[in-house]
A and B are shown apart, each in its own frame.
Chain A
Amino acid sequence: MKKLRNISNRLYPAALLIGLVLLWHLVSSTGLVQSYMLPSPVTVVSAFVGSFSELMGHASITLTEAFAGLGISIVLAFSIALLMDRFEPLYKMVHPVLVVTQTIPPVALAPLLVLWFGYNMEPKIVLVVLVCFFPMTVALLSGFRSSDTDALSLMRAMGAKKSQIYRYIKLPNALPGFFAGLRISAAYAVVGGVIAEWLGGKGGLGVYMTRVRNSYSYDKMFAVIILVVAISLILMKCVDLLERRMMPWREPERVQRAAEGGAQDNS
Chain B
Amino acid sequence: MKLEAKHISKRMGGEQIIRDVSLSLGENELVCLLGVSGIGKSTLFNVISGVLQADEGRVTLNGEDITGHAGRVSYMQQKDLLQQHLTVLDNVALPLFIRGVPRKKARVEALDHFADFGLAGTEKKYPSQLSGGMRQRAALLRTYLFSHDVALLDEPFSALDAITKSAMHRWYLALMERISMSTLFITHDIDEAILLSDRIYIMTGPPGVITSEIAVDRPRPRGPDFLVSDTFIKHKREILKLLSL
Contact = CB atoms under 8 A, between A and B. Distances in A.
Interface string B69-94: 01110110101010111110000001
Contact of B98 (A151, A153, A159, A249): A159
Given A172-B83, A253-B128, A154 B99 contact: no
Contacts of B197: none
A148 B70 contact: no
A249 B146 contact: no
B35 interface: no
A168 B83 contact: yes
In which size bucket is the chain A interface? 20 to 34
Interface string A153-186: 1111111110010001100100100000000000
A158 B86 contact: no
A258 to B, nearest CB: 15
A156 B94 CA distance: 12
B1 interface: no
A157 B128 contact: no
B50 interface: yes
A160 B99 CA distance: 8
Contact of A249 (B46, B70, B85, B95): B85
In which size bucket is the chain B interface? 20 to 34
Nearest to B95: A158
Contact of A158 (B46, B84, B98): B98
B81 A172 contact: no
| Most chain B Cβ neighbours within 10 Å, of A150, A156, A249, A252 | A249
Contacts of A252: 125-126, 128-129
A156 B98 contact: no
Given A150-B77, A249-B128, A253-B128, A159 B85 contact: no
Contacts of A148: 81
Interface of B: 46, 49-51, 70-72, 74-75, 77, 79, 81, 83-87, 94-95, 97-99, 125-126, 128-129, 146
7 contacts: A148-B81, A150-B77, A151-B83, A153-B46, A157-B74, A159-B98, A252-B125
Interface of A: 148, 150-151, 153-161, 164, 168-169, 172, 175, 247, 249, 252-253
* Closest 10 pairs (CB-CB, A-B): A159-B71, A172-B85, A157-B75, A157-B49, A249-B126, A249-B85, A160-B98, A158-B95, A151-B81, A157-B51
Given A172-B83, A252-B129, 11 more contacts: A150-B81, A154-B81, A156-B51, A156-B70, A157-B49, A158-B75, A158-B94, A159-B72, A164-B97, A169-B83, A252-B128
